[in-house]
Amino acid sequence: MPRIEAVGLAKRFGRITALEKGDLTIEDGEYVAILGPSGCGKTTLIKLLAGIWEPTEGRVLVDGKDVTNLGVEDRDLGYVFQNIVLFPHMNVWRNATYGPWVHDRTPADVDHVGKEVLELVQMLQERGLFPAELSTGSQQKVALARALANRARLLMLDEPLSALDTRVRLDLRYALRRIVKDLGLTAIHVTHDQEEAMSVADRVVVMRKGQTVEQGPPERLYNHPQGVFTANFVGESNFLEGAVRRIRADWAFVELRSGYVLRVPAKGLLEGDPVVLAARPEWLTITKEGFGNVIPGRVEGRHFLGATERLQVRLFTSDLVSIDVPTSQSLNSARDVMVSFHETNILVYPRPYAGLQEALKLE
Amino acid sequence: MGIPESPPEARSPGAPAHPVPMDWRSRLLRAVSTRWSLRVWYGWIVGFFLLLVLLPTLFVLGYVLADWGSVGTVLSDPTKSSLILPALWLSFGVALVVAAFDLLAGLPIAWLIVRHDFRGKSWFNTLIDSPLAVTTAGLGFSVVLFWGATSKITEFPPGALGITSNAFLILVFLHLTTTFPYMVRSLAAILEEIDIEYENAARAAGASRLTAARTITLPMFRSGMATGLLLVLAKALSDTGGALTALTLIGAVDQNVFNGTALIGTWKSLAGADPALGPALAFVSALMIVLSLCLLVGVKYIAVRLRIPLRRVRPKVERKLSKGVFPRLRDIGAMGFFVFFILIPSFFFLLFLAVATPTAALDWGRFWGAVGVSFLVGGVATAIDLATGVPLAILITRGKFRRLGKLLDALVNIPYIVPSAALGISLSLFWGSQRAIVPSDVVLVTLAHVAFTFPFVVRNAVGALEQLDSATEETARTLGAKPVQVFRRVLFPAIRPAVLAGSIMAFTRSLGETGATQAVSTSTETIPILIVNLITKTKDYYQAALAQLVLLFVSFAAILALRLALERRRGHG
Amino acid sequence: MAEVVLEGLSKSFGPKHALKDVGLRIRDGEYLVVLGPSGAGKTTLLRTVAGLLDPDEGRIRMDGRDVTRLPPDERQVAFMPQTYSLFPHLSVWENTAFSPTVKGWPEGERDVLAREMLSMVHLIDRAGAYPRELSGGMQQRCALARALAADAEVLLLDEPLRALDARLRIELRAELRDLIRHVGTTTIHVTHDQEEALVVADRIAVLRNGELIEVGPSEMVYSRPSSPFVANFLGEMNFFEARSFPADGGAVRLVAGGTNLTATKREGLEGTVLAGIRAEACGIQAQEWAAGQGVEGVVERRLFMGRRISLEVRTEPMGVLKVKPLTAQANWVKEGDPVFVVMPGEHILLFPVPKGGVAAALEVE
């Protein structure tokens, strides 16, 4: 099972830097998701790792061996493309067996592998059909089979599910992870969908504007993001700006607009620090109590989301926050409410130099 | 979502919809936008095409069948009938051989242009197109200068090879220069459309570049190759000026060796004296038309059915061939072929100008007169092409009846593939038989030029329209734009670069035409006819070369203007 | 702003029936979402209302006026296609002002309207830019401004968020809805994303294979769907067969594989029924703390999805159940843990057993 490393890898197109110089290591058997908004450099990175593009700087190592100068046809990997890219003039069977065929395997071997991979993605019945006759979900399954047919230990997926309908995407997510884990592959999966990244990956690498911003296991990234961008991009967050008024023992008291104060963990904070507080919609609750970590507000909007309801509450600090409430606990027509912030479920960040909006911008 | 934003400004709902103004402009707009008036407009466009382009082109077929008697008389005259079959064989044989070589050498060059970036690429692009700037008569002269062994030319420039006087070979050498740029352009255009991700997918599956190109890209290429082949065949079959010049210079004409168009050209100039040649001309023209239509059908059929052998893959061999010295050899070979067989022979006449002694002065009055006629005919023809071709293209791609569109699309190919000399004969017969309206010579020539340049504009417009997402026009319509407004504000700006390119192709094609002009009117002297006459009739080689040089500058200016205009358009969006 | 009535709309393309007898009444100012899988006929429906397609049968009325045979430019609708189709050679300003320009409005009023719309979508400072210079989100907003500036009676949106990144979609869908609500135009918004539908819609119409199978306010379509397909499409469901017996207070007692469950507020169905409960409506508890009704099982698979955790629990009586509790409530669960799946009575839905079997009834493609 290969270990793949990017060392000092960078890519420039004329004056535009698509990928800033950086390192990345993906271990044996890991399923890594590379997550970020359009234009963050994730597709550039995976194309460099695969050898489809050549880097401007840096090296790519597989199991310690420098493969930077090898073209993609000489690297042992499978690649699934964003736009599926099945060969339109070949049917499902010939698409899936293209790899073994160009390696001049014996017909018996080709037959065996073809059946194996198509069975894996449940497309064996459709082997005689042409890509134009299949739905996009089915096409992508065939593309996956094609990528697996060379029995490579390394699988690269460039936004493999982006072209598909929501329902189909959900189904294929599970299938992808299951196949990768069952076959013991090392997988690199590029996507802009954070929910997808978290459901499939062992580790998520968050990218923005050509650089890695943060990486870690999905749950750590979700529960303890280390920057405001990750806090907003992975899942959703409410943001409140304020400054540290006092520190007592392990707690800091942050003063928000209009004088409201919240108590947060004091780790690493000093009095006077300008900070941004972040809380996810499902971490906030509506309460009747007027004391503790509560801020009063007025309900401005209410949206049915199915199992939960989303309330838009204008706090008296004039910030607008979203709160997710289970539908069964719906408040009917209550307008004035108390929003409760659980002390240990608040994230604290230094206020970004360029301002909060700039730090959160997606494009 | 947590980011404080100013609330959107409220707009009072229930505001009344704005009343539609009723000035004369709006009334006119509404009048021309009714379903009825659109139908009339399109009817007129289709009518124009059928009656003034298609019918005259094919008229000679009916004429020959109707007047079989006189044709029979011609066929029984051995001095005439023995020339026909060898001439046809020469025309079609040369065309096919040339097409094959064009494809073999053109493919690597097209690949180079599209898939690779290197310094001086735009210069290289211009170089590929450069032979188009020389008239075919000039090319005929230049090619014979380089390859030909003949006593008709007394001063050969240094470096002339002078290896043959065989008509077939000389014509092959000639048509390599007249057709190569067309092949490269067609191939490059199709290659650009094929997403490089397909090659990447093949390579990711382990295929070497060569295997990927052979098994994936080339099969997807098929329709492009068919278009390129047709273009090349059409050009080779149509050429009159080059064939006349070259065959005269190597003495083939003296020995009664002709190809199809040279035969038509020669007989036409003798037809004034010998009226029996009339039916003979009609017969040869009809034959050439029928054979080229068969070729058209044949190429399209083969393109669809032909399976490039895919069975065996030899990965090790192909992998070796994809790396190291082999791709370089391939590129050098293709470039070398281009330079040696196309570039040098095309411009060899410049060397002639440099070393030869001028015999007499060029009649500049006559020269600029010819330029004036050429530009007049070309300009008017192109204008008519635009006015009728673009609406026809819209009808073909956006019309409600798909089948009619497809039929028209196929029919537009006909004036394109039919050799223009034969087309000219047919046209003059058609108008000759219309006792009521007999247009003047210049008008006839212009109509003939419209016929064979028309497809350039239509095909380019059709290509651009097919690439355009119809959602843009649909959106415009839902936003309240009437069809005329959709055309003016949305469609035309989008297809303008392609239409511009088509117009320039049409114009330059018209400038270079010899056969049709001559076939229609022996008195009108356009530039190519001037050059042919200078070479074949009065043996004023020096003047011909000089005239061609001046024309070179004019054509280069036109091609440069096109490139600049296209680049500016692209920048503007 | 107009009331739109669709009567018996049918459209076929060769052998394929894209629309089958679709009838719908959309109130003045309503935001209706047409929801369904790809190929269900949603785009065909939209294009027919826009006038880009002629229906084979049926009528379309706007404010009582029969517009079925009118060309698009006379219908007073604004259509926003999936790919936005901004005019590439026109600037943001010129794109936005396109409709009033072609309709011959006086320059002054046209400029006022264009400025107003661009300010509303926060693009006024990019008015001179060209579409290719804009990001995806900005292009969408420009397309919206252009559609709103058409001063149309009906706004037709064809998957307006599909071309955007997932994160952007979440941000912009609320913005989209708020903007349109402010202007108050009757809107038909087509999508395959059920979460998007729930967030933006006043009412949802579910389309499947060209047929309208359900229409109603979001909450009703979600909580009281009329068919297993609709139930499953709006949120992943667990289905199991059960025998139902009437119980007190309008509730129903279910017996499935030996387990007893009570479904509240459901009437009617007796005998063998198809019962279902949403994955996100189920709760998860450790077996020893089990309270409420439900079934025991072992966790076979666990996927972290951020706000929720996706679990597959193998149970004896009901096979594999999909459970999606909130992360806050299920953080402790690991693969292999014995658990108790809580199935609250008010979330259990009942349907007659479908004739062709459950799988066929749920098929999306």
Q: Is A309 on the interface with C (CB under 8 A)?
A: no
By the 8 A CB rule, do B86 and B255 touch?
Answer: no
Q: What does the pLDDT read at residue A118? A: 93
Q: What does the pLDDT read at residue B550? A: 84
- Contact between chains at C184 and B479 (C-beta distance less than 8 A): no
Instruction: Say yes or no to pLDDT of C205 above 90.
Output: yes
pLDDT tens profile C100-110: 999 888 999 99
Between A291 and B311, the more confident residue is A291
Residue with the two structure tokens 């043959």 = B164
- Please give the Cα distance from B384 to B503 (Å, whole number): 10
H or E stretch at A191? strand A186-191
- Return the closest-CA partner of residue C41 out of C6, C65, C78, C75: C6
| Cross-strand bridge partners of residue C60 | C6
Mean pLDDT calculated for residue range B547-571:
72
Instruction: Say yes or no to pLDDT of C1 above 70.
Output: no
Percent of chain B having pLDDT more than 90? 10
Nearest-neighbour CA in chain A from C91: distance (Å):
20
How do beta strands C57-62 and C65-66 pair? antiparallel
Residues of chain C in contact with residue A300, where contact means CB-CB under 8 angstroms, are: none
Instruction: Say yes or no to pLDDT of B43 above 80.
Output: yes
Closest residue of A to C159, CA-based?
A165
- Contact between chains at B478 and C75 (C-beta distance less than 8 A): yes
Out of C51, C81, C130, name the one closest to residue B573 (CB). Answer: C130
3-state SS, one letter per residue, for chain C: CCCEEEEEEEEEECCEEEEEEEEEEECCCCEEEEECCCCCCHHHHHHHHHCCCCCCEEEEEECCEECCCCCHHHCCEEEECCCCCCCCCCCHHHHHCHHHHHCCCCHHHHHHHHHHHHHHCCCHHHCCCCHHHCCHHHHHHHHHHHHHCCCCCEEEEECCCCCCCHHHHHHHHHHHHHHHHHHCCEEEEEECCHHHHHHHCCEEEEEECCEEEEEEEHHHHHHCCCCHHHHHHCCCEEEEEEEEEECHHHCEEEEECCEEEEECCCCCCCEEEEEEEEHHHCEEEEHHHCCCCEEEEEEEEEEECCCEEEEEEEECCCEEEEECCEHHHHCCCCCCCEEEEECCHHHCEEEECCCCCHHHHHCCC
Between B308 and C340, the more confident residue is C340
Residues of chain C in contact with residue A199, where contact means CB-CB under 8 angstroms, are: 303-305, 310
pLDDT tens profile B108-160: 898 888 888 777 777 888 788 888 878 888 899 999 989 888 877 777 888 88
Mean pLDDT calculated for residue range B323-334:
83
- Please give the Cα distance from A102 to C208 (Å, whole number): 42
Count of beta carbons in the 10 Å neighbourhood of residue C102: 23
pLDDT tens profile A217-229: 999 999 999 999 9
Q: Is A320 on the interface with B (CB under 8 A)?
A: yes
pLDDT tens profile A6-45: 999 999 988 888 999 999 999 999 999 999 998 889 999 9
Strands (E), B216-346: none
Residues of chain C in contact with residue B489, where contact means CB-CB under 8 angstroms, are: 87, 98, 102
- Please give the Cα distance from B270 to B278 (Å, whole number): 10
Residues of chain A in contact with residue B203, where contact means CB-CB under 8 angstroms, are: 52, 71-73
Q: What does the pLDDT read at residue C188? A: 95
pLDDT tens profile C82-95: 888 899 889 999 99
For chain A positions 37-56, those within 8 Å of chain C (CB to CB) are 37-39
- Please give the Cα distance from B35 to B400 (Å, whole number): 12
Handedness of CA B492, B494, B500, B501 (dihedral sign): negative
- Contact between chains at A305 and C198 (C-beta distance less than 8 A): yes
- Please give the Cα distance from A197 to C303 (Å, whole number): 11
Percent of chain C having pLDDT more than 90? 45
Percent of chain C having pLDDT more than 70? 98
- Please give the Cα distance from B472 to B475 (Å, whole number): 5
- Please give the Cα distance from B147 to B160 (Å, whole number): 7
Q: What does the pLDDT read at residue C365? A: 57
Between A102 and C363, the more confident residue is A102
- Contact between chains at A72 and B204 (C-beta distance less than 8 A): yes
Q: State the average pLDDT for chain A.
A: 90
- Please give the Cα distance from B537 to A197 (Å, whole number): 80
Q: What does the pLDDT read at residue C23? A: 93
pLDDT tens profile A174-183: 889 989 999 9
pLDDT band at B559 (very low <50, low <70, confident <90, very high): low
Mean pLDDT calculated for residue range A71-89:
90
- Contact between chains at A194 and C306 (C-beta distance less than 8 A): yes
How do beta strands C283-286 and C309-315 pair? unpaired
By the 8 A CB rule, do C340 and C294 touch?
Answer: yes
Nearest-neighbour CA in chain C from B97: distance (Å):
44
By the 8 A CB rule, do B565 and B500 touch?
Answer: yes
- DSSP structure string for A7-48: EEEEEEETTEEEEEEEEEEE-TT-EEEEE--TTSSHHHHHHH
Q: What does the pLDDT read at residue A45? A: 95
- Please give the Cα distance from B464 to B38 (Å, whole number): 22
Residues of chain C in contact with residue B500, where contact means CB-CB under 8 angstroms, are: none
The CA-atom distances, in angstroms, between B135 and each of B178, B240, B418, C258, C356 are: 9, 11, 20, 93, 74
pLDDT tens profile A127-151: 999 999 998 889 999 999 999 999 8
Residues of chain C in contact with residue A37, where contact means CB-CB under 8 angstroms, are: 165, 167-168
Structure tokens at A143: 């593309």
- Return the closest-CA partner of residue C68 out of C54, C86, C88, C80: C54
Q: What does the pLDDT read at residue C268? A: 64
Backbone angles phi, psi at B7, to 5 degrees: -70, 145
- DSSP structure string for A117-186: HHHHTT-STTTT--GGGS-HHHHHHHHHHHHHTT--SEEEEESTTTTS-HHHHHHHHHHHHHHHHHHT-E
Instruction: Say yes or no to pLDDT of A329 above 70.
Output: no
- DSSP structure string for B298-332: HHHHHHHH-----S---HHHHHHHHSTHHHHHHHH
By the 8 A CB rule, do C272 and C353 touch?
Answer: yes
Structure tokens at B303: 């393109």
pLDDT tens profile B456-495: 899 889 988 888 888 888 999 999 888 888 988 998 888 8
Between C68 and C259, the more confident residue is C68
Residues of chain B in contact with residue C171, where contact means CB-CB under 8 angstroms, are: 1
Between A297 and B120, the more confident residue is A297
- Please give the Cα distance from A72 to A47 (Å, whole number): 9
The CA-atom distances, in angstroms, between B239 and each of B68, B234, B514 are: 28, 9, 7
- Return the closest-CA partner of residue A209 out of A22, A15, A363: A363
pLDDT band at B532 (very low <50, low <70, confident <90, very high): confident
Instruction: Say which DSSP state A188 is in.
Output: E
pLDDT tens profile C207-236: 999 999 999 999 899 988 999 999 999 988
Q: What does the pLDDT read at residue B560? A: 75
How do beta strands A154-158 and A186-191 pair? parallel
Residues of chain A in contact with residue B208, where contact means CB-CB under 8 angstroms, are: 73, 102
Q: Taking CB atoms and an 8 Å cut-off, how many pairs form between chains A and C?
A: 107
- Contact between chains at C80 and B475 (C-beta distance less than 8 A): yes
* Sequence-distant (≥ 6) Cβ neighbours of residue B72 within 8 angstroms: none
- Contact between chains at A98 and B205 (C-beta distance less than 8 A): yes
* Total residues belonging to chain C: 365
pLDDT tens profile B387-426: 999 989 988 888 777 788 888 888 888 888 888 888 888 8
Residues of chain A in contact with residue B219, where contact means CB-CB under 8 angstroms, are: 89
Q: Is A260 on the interface with B (CB under 8 A)?
A: no
* Total residues belonging to chain A: 363
Closest residue of C to A166, CA-based?
C193
Residues of B with CB under 8 A from a CB of C: 1, 8-11, 13-14, 17-18, 20-21, 23, 25-26, 469, 471-472, 474-482, 485, 489-490, 493-494, 572-573
Residues of chain C in contact with residue B25, where contact means CB-CB under 8 angstroms, are: 104
- Please give the Cα distance from A296 to B512 (Å, whole number): 84
The CA-atom distances, in angstroms, between A330 and each of A254, A342, B183, B412 are: 30, 20, 71, 69
Out of B2, B220, B319, name the one closest to residue A239 (CB). Answer: B2
Q: Which of A329-343, B80-94, C15-29 has the lowest mean pLDDT?
A: A329-343
Instruction: Say yes or no to pLDDT of B382 above 60.
Output: yes
Mean pLDDT calculated for residue range B521-526:
83
Residues of chain A in contact with residue C303, where contact means CB-CB under 8 angstroms, are: 174, 177, 199-200
pLDDT band at A205 (very low <50, low <70, confident <90, very high): very high
- Contact between chains at B215 and A73 (C-beta distance less than 8 A): no
By the 8 A CB rule, do C184 and B14 touch?
Answer: yes
Instruction: Say yes or no to pLDDT of B9 above 60.
Output: no
Closest residue of B to C113, CA-based?
B11
Greatest pairwise CA separation for chain C in angstroms = 76
Q: What does the pLDDT read at residue A332? A: 67
- Contact between chains at C73 and B480 (C-beta distance less than 8 A): yes
- Contact between chains at C120 and B8 (C-beta distance less than 8 A): yes
Count of beta carbons in the 10 Å neighbourhood of residue B8: 16
Q: What does the pLDDT read at residue B1? A: 38
Nearest-neighbour CA in chain B from C205: distance (Å):
23
Q: State the average pLDDT for chain B.
A: 82
The CA-atom distances, in angstroms, between B51 and each of B43, B54, B220, B450 are: 12, 6, 37, 13
pLDDT band at B311 (very low <50, low <70, confident <90, very high): low
Count of beta carbons in the 10 Å neighbourhood of residue B484: 16
* Total residues belonging to chain B: 573
- Contact between chains at B205 and A149 (C-beta distance less than 8 A): yes
Mean pLDDT calculated for residue range A159-169:
85
Q: Is C198 on the interface with A (CB under 8 A)?
A: yes
* Sequence-distant (≥ 6) Cβ neighbours of residue A134 within 8 angstroms: A92, A126, A142
Instruction: Say yes or no to pLDDT of B14 above 70.
Output: no
First and final CA of chain B: distance in angstroms?
35
pLDDT tens profile B52-64: 788 888 888 888 8
By the 8 A CB rule, do C167 and A194 touch?
Answer: yes
Q: What does the pLDDT read at residue B174? A: 93
pLDDT tens profile B235-253: 888 888 889 889 888 888 8
Q: Is C316 on the interface with A (CB under 8 A)?
A: no
Instruction: Say yes or no to pLDDT of B500 above 80.
Output: yes
The radius of gyration of chain C's CA atoms, rounded to the nearest angstrom, is 24
Most B CBs within 10 Å: which of C13, C85, C107, C151, as the mutation test of the B interface?
A: C85
- Contact between chains at B2 and A357 (C-beta distance less than 8 A): no
Instruction: Say yes or no to pLDDT of B432 above 80.
Output: no
H or E stretch at A299? strand A294-304
- Contact between chains at B493 and C89 (C-beta distance less than 8 A): yes
pLDDT tens profile B345-368: 999 988 888 888 777 777 888 888
Mean pLDDT calculated for residue range B529-538:
86
Closest residue of C to B570, CA-based?
C89
Instruction: Say yes or no to pLDDT of B18 above 70.
Output: no
Closest residue of C to B484, CA-based?
C102
Residues of chain B in contact with residue C174, where contact means CB-CB under 8 angstroms, are: 1
Give this complex's ipTM. 0.85
C contact chains, 3+ CB pairs < 8 A:
A, B
Residues of chain A in contact with residue B207, where contact means CB-CB under 8 angstroms, are: 73, 98, 102
- Please give the Cα distance from B315 to B525 (Å, whole number): 59
Q: What does the pLDDT read at residue B297? A: 85
How do beta strands A203-208 and A211-216 pair? antiparallel
Q: What does the pLDDT read at residue A5? A: 92
